[in-house]
Amino acid sequence: MTLVMENLTRFERIECSRVTASGARYPKHTHEEYVISANLSGVERIWYNGRQQEVSSGEVTLYNPMTVQASEFCWEGAQFISVHLDGQQVRSILDQTTSINGLPTFQEGMIHDSALFRSILDLYGHLGSSGRDEALLVLFSELARFRTTPDTAGEQLRVAQLISFMKANLYEAIELEDLCAEANLSRFHLVRSFKTLKNLPPMQYFKQLRLIEARRRLRLGDAAARIAVDLGFFDQAHLSNAFRKVMGASPSSYSSMFGAVGLPTNSA
């Protein structure tokens, strides 16, 4: 029987780790934090509040603070990513009507939801990168869909105005805080509202607008290296990698298909 925690990372009162288990079990226990986990492989049988469920690969488990829980893992082995979220931090970010114990409450147990599952994996994958903060906000955004206490945020994001702001500032060093100031929203509510309406977090959407502008300039014959600098990419290779993912061709290959001849184009 094995139960091994690997790669534990702590930041902003949050703990994130990868756990490998085989034929092992957690006895009845509880945590003061919210605990949300993504099952990467294998089967976990869970018990909480008198209920029993089976959790398979691609599914999520979620427990509110102080929920008594237990689980056991198959002998074939299981792996999962576990995230512990501080209760006061969750309350401050979600800005919700509080429950009887002063904290938001969420649907518990096994959750089959691909977007929530991916958000946990994305956070784990960005722990050591500049994308960590936005990945965390996306996780909170997905988590909020499973709340059982009412949401009193009520802000209506001016998405059209924000996109206009982005287009007007494609050549500026725009950060998430700049978008928050423009929309007069907190980082959490900005990311949550924008992703709900446009299916991408705001900074990822801004990157797509920049790629559209890069494509427009390539059609006009501008050099990829100059475009990369002007649009705030780290270097030409960074632009090339991002461009290839969207177009299936490098900027230079795309430009050569037009023979470097300026062509009329619709605005992005």
Q: Are 239 and 247 in contact (CB under 8 A)?
A: no
- Separation CA 26–CA 167 (nearest Å): 51
Band of residue 149 on the pLDDT scale cut at 50, 70, 90: low
Say whether pLDDT at 126 is over 70.
Answer: yes
Say whether pLDDT at 48 is over 50.
Answer: yes
The torsion angles phi and psi of 91, rounded to 5 degrees, stand at -65, -45
Average pLDDT, the chain: 84
Say whether pLDDT at 263 is over 50.
Answer: no
Give me the pLDDT at residue 123, please.
95
User: pLDDT tens across 1-39, in order?
Assistant: 788 878 888 888 898 999 898 888 887 888 888 999 999
pTM of model > 0.75: no
- Separation CA 240–CA 223 (nearest Å): 12
The string of DSSP letters for 148-179 reads: SSPP-------HHHHHHHHHHTTTS---HHHH
Mean pLDDT confidence for 113-136: 93
Say whether pLDDT at 99 is over 60.
Answer: no
Say whether pLDDT at 72 is over 60.
Answer: yes
User: pLDDT tens across 161-202, in order?
Assistant: 898 899 999 999 999 999 999 888 888 888 888 887 777 889
